[in-house]
Amino acid sequence: MNVAVVKYNAGNVLSVMFAIRRLGLEPVWTDDPEQLRSADRVIFPGQGEASSAMAYLRSRGLDEVLTGLSQPVLGICLGLHLMCRWSEENDTRCLGILPHEVRHFDDSLKVPHVGWNEIGGLSGSLFGGVDDGAFAYFAHSYYVETGENVTAITDYSTRFASAVQVRNFQAVQFHPEKSGDVGERILRNFLLGGTAR
């Protein structure tokens, strides 16, 4: 299994690499278009700021590479946001893979939303063997609005999409690499195959 992790100016990549290695796989961290295109699975993780991340991707032509991938792709946290159409964070035009918009949590809430929260309404192969209402670890100030293509929902005063899927592209708001056994199962399902709910 050839696993590529997208290299760009985003944080929290090493913990994803370690989580993949715990599953017995050796990922490559790369911004090389050919390595990304030839990988069996691509993971697009990260924490950071949307506009600078998109500027980096565009400067290296990675925006076109990512939107053109045909193998399974998993976005995590900022990766989810960048796969959407637009982010309220610095009015950023994103990749447009997912027909969703990214909004900032209401100022009345404690932001960022950090810690464990439930994921519910689960559907799709990513969540095979994961109980509805399981807990995952979140760390974010922006969220993806609910709508079609949503495969998991979380409530933090407002309901938001904690997972989305369009074609071969899946993405999660939480951090599976920091979500214990639940997160390991989700990564295993993505990388090694899982049974659809």
Catalytic entry in 94, 100, 175, 184: 175
Q: What is the mean pLDDT of the chain?
A: 95
* 77 part of the active site: yes
Strand 41-44 versus strand 73-76 pairing type: parallel
- Predicted confidence at residue 194, as pLDDT, reads 58
187 token code pair: 């990564």
* 175 part of the active site: yes
What residue segments make up the domains of the chain, in order of their start?
3-192
DSSP per-residue string spanning 133-175: TEEEEEEESEEEPP-TTEEEEEEESEEEEEEEEETTEEEESS-
17 token code pair: 């690499």
**Whole-model pTM?**
0.95
Query: Cα 146–149–152 angle (5° rounding)?
Result: 60
- Stated as kind and residue range, the H or E segment containing 82 is helix 78-83
For residues 16 and 177, the answer to whether their CB atoms sit within 8 Å is yes
Catalytic entry in 84, 89, 94, 177: 177
Catalytic entry in 77, 81, 94, 140: 77
Helix axes 13-22, 180-192, angle to 10 degrees: 70
- Predicted confidence at residue 1, as pLDDT, reads 92
| Topology of the domain comprising 3-192 | Rossmann fold (3.40.50)
Query: Cα 73–10–31 angle (5° rounding)?
Result: 55
CA distance 54 to 122: 29
Residue 51: pLDDT over 70: yes
Amino acid occupying residue 19: A
Residue 186: pLDDT over 70: yes
How much is the average pLDDT of 169-179? 97
197 — pLDDT class (breaks 50, 70, 90):
low
Amino acid occupying residue 61: G
2 — pLDDT class (breaks 50, 70, 90):
very high
Q: How far is CA 56 from CA 12, 38, 146, in A?
A: 17, 22, 28
How much is the average pLDDT of 72-76? 98
How much is the average pLDDT of 183-188? 98
Cβ neighbors of 146 (< 8 A, separation 6 or more) are: 153, 159, 160, 161
% of the chain residues with pLDDT over 90: 89
Q: Where is average pLDDT lowest: 1-15, 18-32, 135-149?
A: 1-15
How much is the average pLDDT of 48-63? 95
How much is the average pLDDT of 37-45? 97
- Predicted confidence at residue 179, as pLDDT, reads 98
Summarize pLDDT for 129-154 with one digit per residue, the tens.
Answer: 999 999 999 999 999 999 889 999 99
Smallest CA-to-CA distance from 95 within 103, 85, 107 is with 85
